Amino acid sequence: DTGVSQNPRHKITKRGQNVTFRCDPISEHNRLYWYRQTLGQGPEFLTYFQNEAQLEKSRLLSDRFSAERPKGSFSTLEIQRTEQGDSAMYLCASSRRAGGTDTQYFGPGTRLTVL
Amino acid sequence: EDQVTQSPEALRLQEGESSSLNCSYTVSGLRGLFWYRQDPGKGPEFLFTLYSAGEEKEKERLKATLTKKESFLHITAPKPEDSATYLCAVQDSGNTPLVFGKGTRLSVIA
């Protein structure tokens, strides 16, 4: 059973650079989510896709952030012109809505450090 | 606005000392309440989903319960390997994304 995978696991970048993260969901999961987590806080929702359609974006998601899910498979999250405040763990989760259930399974995360 | 509050923020237990973690929530309509375990530097690991008041679920030394306003995660005779941060999250019936609490950091000392 292959779980959610994320790459890279760690990324160190300089302020102002662009970064891109990849998420591969559990196969056959039609929903994919991105969350951000800072130290001592719970994950905060950024955006989610159902198949290839981006259905919701949080107010937290500034215009420097963009996410895609081409063909409804893997997803990428790009941050342009990174700022020190972007340093966080970026988590991806996937789910397969079945009836009333929608349990989200998380990947290991990508730790971003902006110097 | 959906809100989740977890208490205590941190809990230190001796091995074998049972206790409970609390998750209080406010939602307009509950689709589900979720418990996750998170080890340092890793993603959250799914534990339980609860859907309606009165529901209970168990897994090894963990038991989750749900009322209309809160959920408890009971830990019976904990072991050091149970040390982790336990996260509670809710899913509103009108929304898909999870709203998380800040978590309870549990330390179990041998």
Per-residue model confidence as pLDDT tens digits over A55-99:
999 988 889 999 999 988 999 999 999 999 999 999 999 998 766
Please tell me which residue of chain A has the smallest CA distance to B96: A102
Helix (H, G, I), strand (E, B) or coil at A47: strand
pLDDT of residue A61: 86
A107 chain-B contacts, CB cut-off 8 A: 43
Q: From first to last of the 110 residues of chain B, give the pLDDT tens digit.
A: 889 999 999 999 999 999 999 999 999 889 999 999 999 999 999 999 999 999 999 999 999 999 999 999 999 999 999 999 999 999 988 778 999 999 999 999 99
Q: Which of A3, A9, A5 is nearest to A110 (CA)?
A: A9
pLDDT, tens only, A17-44: 999 999 999 998 999 999 999 999 999 9
pLDDT of residue B94: 74
Query: Is there a contact between A104 and B102 if contact means CB atoms under 8 Å apart?
Result: no
pLDDT, tens only, A89-103: 999 999 987 666 689
Instruction: Report the gap between the CA of A94 and the closest CA in chain B (Å).
Output: 11
Rounded to whole angstroms, the Cα distance separating A64 from B69 reads 37
A40 chain-B contacts, CB cut-off 8 A: 102
Question: CB of B90 within 8 A of CB of B32?
Answer: yes
Please tell me which residue of chain A has the smallest CA distance to B103: A42
Q: What's the half-sphere exposure (Cβ side, CA atoms, 13 Å) at A21?
A: 29
> Quick one: how far is CA B71 from the chain centroid?
7
Q: Which of B52, B100, B104, B105 is most worth mutating to test chain A (most A CB atoms within 10 A of its CB)?
A: B100
pLDDT of residue A99: 66
Question: CB of A2 within 8 A of CB of A104?
Answer: no
Instruction: Report the gap between the CA of A67 and the closest CA in chain B (Å).
Output: 16
Q: Which residues pair with B34 in a beta bridge?
A: B49, B89
